[in-house]
Amino acid sequence: MAANSDDPNPDPGWWYNTRTGEVEHGNLSRSIDRLGPYPDEATARRALEIARERTRQADRADAEWEGRE
């Protein structure tokens, strides 16, 4: 999501709160406790699954780059 936009009312996005385990619409919690933004509520509900998969992909890429795979 771009920080500067011509839209005076940008969509606040959907977030997953890692502290509470709840999905939020907009900036309701501290940024340190949130994953996102996601385009919709359903995607935000999958935030931990998405983060795990991205971590696996990054770990594979690191291993390949370092010649361990």
**Residue 12: per-residue pLDDT:** 82
Structural domain includes residue 28: yes
Per-residue pLDDT of 20-62, as tens digits, reads 999 999 889 999 999 999 999 999 999 999 999 999 999 999 9
Q: What's the number of domains the chain is made of?
A: 1
Contact criterion met (CB below 8 Å) for 29 and 36: no
- Entry pTM: 0.74
Per-residue pLDDT of 54-65, as tens digits, reads 999 999 999 999
d(CA 21, CA 47): 10
d(CA 13, CA 56): 25
Structural domain includes residue 6: no
Domain that holds residue 18: 14-65
**Residue 27: per-residue pLDDT:** 87
